[in-house]
Amino acid sequence: MMNNKKIIFFLFVGLLLFSAFRSDMPAYKLYNQKGKRTSFSKLVKEAAKADVIFFGELHNNPIAHWLQLELTAELHEIHGEKLLLGAEMIETDNQEALELYLSGAIEHDSLKNLARLWGNYKTDYKPLVDLAKEKQLKFIGTNVPRRYASMVYKGGFEALDTLPKLDKQWIAPLPIEYDPTLPAYKEMMEMMGGMKNHSTENFPKAQAIKDATMAWKIAENWQKGSFFIHYNGSFHSDNYEGIVWYLKQLKPEATILTITTIEVSNLQRKLEEELRFVADFTIAVPETMTKTY
């Protein structure tokens, strides 16, 4: 039986270890849907079971981008060539240029000239594209070309009807199903101050054309037996809305897992109640974390 001195010794050591952990500077903490702490290995295990994974990021957050790369590499180890990659950050009409790069036919500088790459592409998304290139995986640009989202913002979905057939190949099939009562779209209306004008009404529609097109491209490339990881801003998949809502209309049989990224002032605190159930997994990052832009 352990004597009192040994008990005191182990309690002392445990207290030192606990203090060391508390004084450490973790870069992030991971929570499950119910707001309980979990691990990256648990995320990998659960993500490997899903047909489609939505990795919701904060576009300028380096921790989210690093975890995207690490999770994708882990999923490739599990699924091999059955893994498909896709991203909001590359638009549908840039797919040809992207495939030329993936095949080795052109170098990065040529891709930069041919495609409308985001300003933070080199630091935040190129590692993902290069992983696909190295492992010979498909990478799909899913987002609607921004000029068409701009058309919707100015003239509603009806503005797309005027496009020639060739242009419509880059957009989800018309007419676009749209539910203005979805909380995400209602919130966008509120962000516009509740003003009653066409710009206010069309603002969430411009978001919806992006969501619908991204879901359409995922559905077009995913089939049972394959696995798709999609990188997008958290707002596009939080609360299982946005792209997720549209994909469920197209592929109700697909199992979906969502990840979101948030910034918090104190990583030692529990995940606030209103932030729970936003996604299957939540990555909490200190709000003081440096940004990529």
Give 211-226 pLDDT, tens digit per residue: 999 999 999 999 999 9
Q: Tell me the pLDDT band of 9, cut-offs 50, 70 and 90.
A: very low
Residue at 139 is within a domain: yes
CB 168 within 8 A of CB 160: yes
Residue at 100 is within a domain: yes
Mention every residue, 6+ apart, whose C-beta is less than 8 A from residue 236.
Answer: 54, 56, 88, 207, 210, 211, 214, 242, 243
Query: What letter would DSSP give residue 236?
Result: G
Residue at 9 is within a domain: no
Helix axis angle, 198-221 relative to 243-250, nearest 10°? Answer: 50
Residue at 175 is within a domain: yes
Which token pair is 52?
Answer: 């489609």
Q: Tell me the pLDDT band of 23, cut-offs 50, 70 and 90.
A: low
How many Å apart are CA 73 and CA 48, to the nearest integer?
12
Number of domains into which the chain is organized: 1
Q: Is the pLDDT of residue 17 over 50?
A: no
Give 27-80 pLDDT, tens digit per residue: 999 999 999 999 999 999 999 999 999 999 999 999 999 999 999 999 999 999
Residue at 14 is within a domain: no
Q: Is the pLDDT of residue 173 over 50?
A: yes
Which token pair is 44?
Answer: 């990998």
Q: Tell me the pLDDT band of 274, cut-offs 50, 70 and 90.
A: confident
Element containing residue 119 per DSSP (H, E): none
* CATH number of the structural domain spanning residue 107: 3.40.50.11550
Give 233-258 pLDDT, tens digit per residue: 999 999 999 999 999 999 999 999 99
pLDDT at 19: 43
Residue at 291 is within a domain: no
Domain span at residue 60? 28-286
Q: What is the mean pLDDT of residues 166-192?
A: 93
- Cα Rg of the chain (Å, integer): 22
Residue at 21 is within a domain: no
Mention every residue, 6+ apart, whose C-beta is less than 8 A from residue 32.
Answer: 38, 42, 280, 281, 282
Task: Give the CA angle between residues 276, 280, 283 to the nearest 5°.
Answer: 75
Q: Is the pLDDT of residue 194 over 80?
A: no
Residue at 229 is within a domain: yes
Predicted model pTM: 0.90
Q: Is the peptide bond before 175 cis (omega within 30 degrees of 0)?
A: yes
Q: Is the pLDDT of residue 12 over 60?
A: no
Between strands 281-286 and 29-32, the pairing is: antiparallel
